[in-house]
Structures are given as structure tokens and as C-alpha cells.
């Protein structure tokens, strides 16, 4: 695709897109709220300033735009033809930083969940992923769930003489 913006102009357009409280972030926040989960936003004291944080559960969530973070999907591959090297370098730096942030968080015993913009349409799948990561965090977990103790009917032996 041809880019109608100069790199400078494109940068300012994209910076707005990239900012806090983006639509993808709001989608994830609404889902978490619906799931009854409590979270904090943009914790600046953590590596990479994660978009969403659950401090008690030590879970950091990044909501990544596919273009900005170079996702391996059609949207992520849509780099403007004009000034291609500029964009590839910029996105490459973002990706390198993402990897560093993840490693730094994991070194502090945080678990990291990266959600991509293109994955947010399927809220059911998203909810499953969040539940999975929280479940795993609980340690052992019990995948079988509380199925209940089998009840043995007590058969009083009939006494015959």
C-alpha cells in the first residue's frame, strides 16, 4: 500500500493510535470487568509499563497493536511501501523492546500475557486464555473441577431369617 503521509505526519497519526486507552485496550478491560477481575492500569514502575496489571496475581497484560509490534498476521505485515526501511526499523525496535520487557518481568516472577489486536474479536477465546493463565498461576489447579464426591447409596442389607 502507498502511504499518503510523510513519516513525520504518519508518526503523529500513529502516536495517537498507539496511546493509552486505545480501543483494543478498552475491549480487554471490559472483558476483565465482566469476568469480575480487578486490575490496575499502566504501572510505570514495571518493565514496559504493562497496559493492564493484576498485582495480587502477578499478571501483566500487554495489548499490542499488530502494526506497531510487528505481529505475524495480515495486519502486522501491512507495512507502508513508502519509507519501508523507516517503518521496519521502528517496528523492529518495538519488537526488541517487547522481548526485553517480557524477560525483565518474568525475571521478577511476573507472568506475561500478550494479547494482539487481531485476536480481540473472539471474546470467548480471549476469556478462555485469561482463565487459563489465571488458573495456571494458582499452582496445582484442578482441571477436573469440583465434580463432587461420588455418593454410594447405602444399601441396608435386608436381614432375613
Give 29 or 69: the residue with its C-beta nearer to Zn ion. Answer: 69
Give 124 or 145: the residue with its C-beta nearer to Zn ion. Answer: 124
Are 30 and 120 within 8 A, CB to CB?
A: no
What is the C-alpha separation between 19 and 12, in angstroms, rounded?
A: 11
Give 9 or 23: the residue with its C-beta nearer to Zn ion. Answer: 23
CB of 15 to Zn ion, least distance (A): 20
CB of 82 to Zn ion, least distance (A): 22
- Nearest in space to 118 (alpha carbons), one of 72, 49, 52, 51: 72
Binding site for Zn ion (CB under 5 A): 66, 71, 73, 76, 116, 118
Evaluate the CA torsion angle 42, 43, 49, 52 in order and state its sign.
Answer: negative
Give 72 or 109: the residue with its C-beta nearer to Zn ion. Answer: 72
Are 100 and 47 within 8 A, CB to CB?
A: yes
What is the C-alpha separation between 104 and 126, in angstroms, rounded?
A: 25
CB of 65 to Zn ion, least distance (A): 8
CB of 151 to Zn ion, least distance (A): 49
Amino acid at each position: 500500500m502507498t502511504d499518503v503521509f510523510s513519516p513525520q505526519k504518519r508518526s503523529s497519526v500513529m502516536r495517537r493510535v498507539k496511546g493509552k486507552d486505545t480501543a483494543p485496550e478498552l475491549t480487554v478491560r471490559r472483558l476483565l470487568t465482566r469476568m469480575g477481575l480487578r486490575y490496575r492500569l499502566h504501572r510505570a514502575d514495571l518493565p514496559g509499563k504493562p497496559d493492564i496489571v493484576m498485582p495480587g496475581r502477578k499478571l501483566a497484560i500487554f495489548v499490542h497493536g499488530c502494526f506497531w509490534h510487528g505481529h505475524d498476521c495480515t495486519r502486522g505485515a501491512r507495512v507502508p511501501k513508502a519509507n519501508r526501511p523507516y517503518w521496519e526499523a521502528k517496528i523492529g525496535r518495538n519488537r526488541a523492546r517487547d522481548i526485553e520487557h517480557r524477560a525483565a518481568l518474568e525475571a521478577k516472577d511476573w507472568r506475561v500475557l500478550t494479547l494482539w489486536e487481531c485476536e480481540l474479536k473472539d471474546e470467548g477465546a480471549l476469556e478462555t486464555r485469561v482463565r487459563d493463565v489465571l488458573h495456571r498461576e494458582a499452582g496445582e489447579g484442578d482441571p477436573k473441577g469440583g465434580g463432587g464426591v461420588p455418593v454410594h447409596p447405602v444399601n441396608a442389607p435386608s436381614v432375613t431369617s
